[in-house]
Structure 1
């Protein structure tokens, strides 16, 4: 259902609204569907190696999404695409991606952090369930709902403000359902999940919890680079940090390693972080 596209003209696609109790569209869904729309216009031997997006305005959960793709370039090795995503004619996201035919070449990478394996760690859902009665009402539909991914925090999972500032966290994650071998599908699902927790990395050094009821957050942009093949239905280690925060914004960065130590993707995102004097009713 997430990637069920209806043809709406040449390089035009539409996805139906997905029932949800959220107050706005989850950004990870939007960027994953934007990547999927661009993938539909590229020959299958080329897979995405980079993706860049800007969020324009909050998306509505009860309205269809329209995708208009532009074919900027098609070479022998690379293809580039742009997409504009709208609801009722209003732009909510613009994105671009580059696709490449697979090839060999010299390699180097950041090493995989030395952290405990996921099997002995508590599921993230346990942390959230313990804090359920203290969560602001606006957060409960998303965080207490069913999720497609299993998350295992390496460090204690910060929910509320207070306590000492901490560095960026590590998470093990994997899709609960088993997928086939289509590399493009695994890329879409990794794009989907990469939007979650990355902005929280910018809050940790400030000792701010994502469930602080005075906090307003919103994704402003998102970038993703794919370095190697991977399976999103097998454990991946998501290592997060934040180089800087200020001016009402925070920058989060992330690397994703496969369990065999290969660095398979890098992520960055700048997001809005505003702390208000009064509690927020929605955002």
Structure 2
């Protein structure tokens, strides 16, 4: 397993510090505050570690709904407290409060479901080019390295645990207005084991990349412009079918609305073979200061 992926799995794994309480380290990705996807992934991981059985094996998350309450610091650890709301025969529910220095950063409700058979239908996977031959976001960052502040270049151009390849990417330093739609291929950069917790917490982590920035497309602005304030406000994921994060997934994102300083985005995540494995929705702050 690659070093960067192993480090991320360790970050999401957490340290148990009491009954249904955990401590997590923080990762500096070069953003102005703690990356929301990290807290989502850690929150889901904490909830799954309190499920009946071995670290949630035998359960799949069917949904999570989270509110980001305040920005977090990358220099301080976080604490996660899980409340066991319900343990049923088919469903289990958890509430997770993530805090830092005594103040809540995120409130999340998670629902888990034991696999069962039932009716099946889904939307069709878009017909788009495969990931082969598309530059990764790291490769693009290395092409643009001279545009980044010197202190951030090592962070933005370093190897990443999740490889992401955007079809027809925007030049983040000279963005042009376009339709609010984005298509991204993504996968872990090395093989993973069979842990449900690892695959689902990695998806929660990765789902926060590329999402709210799609709401900026029609306005010809970028999160890398100094006068832009962009932050996640809430985030929901519905897990439809099993998947593996070490296989290519197609993340199709659009933004149907922006108003009042907020942008709304939604995403559908497909396996390469065409199965709809998850749906995502998020509202975020998109404020030009």
Q: TM-score, normalization: structure 1?
A: 0.92
Distance verdict in 2 for CA 1:95–1:262, change over 3 Å? same
Alignment of 1:139-178 (within 5 A): 140=153, 142-178=155-191
Kept in 2: contact 1:23–1:138 (CA 8 A): no
Conserved 8 A contact 1:136-1:211 = no
Deviation of 1:22 after TM superposition, in Å, equals 4.8
Contact 1:166 1:207 in 2 (8 A): no
Q: How many residues align?
A: 276
Contact 1:136/1:213 (CA < 8 Å) preserved in 2? no
Q: Does structure 1 retain, via aligned residues, the 8 Å contact 2:250–2:270?
A: yes
Residue 160 of structure 1: how far off its partner (Å) = 3.2
Residue-by-residue CA offset, 1:207-255 (whole Å, 9 max, x unaligned): 2222222111011111001000001111000000001001111011111
Match of residue 238 from structure 1:
251
The match for 1:209 is: 222
Matched, 1:198 2:211: yes
Q: How far did residue 202 of structure 1 move?
A: 0.6
Partner of 1:89: 102
Range that drifts further, 146-155 or 67-76: 146-155
Q: Which residue number corresponds to residue 6 of structure 2?
A: none
Aligned CA-pair RMSD: 1.8
Correspondence for 2:42: 33
Alignment check: 8 A CA contact 2:180 2:216 kept: no
1:19 and 1:125 map into 2 onto residues whose CA distance is 16
1:256: Cα distance to partner?
Answer: 0.5
2:67 equivalent to 1:54: yes
Question: 8 Å contact 1:161–1:212 — kept in the other structure?
Answer: no
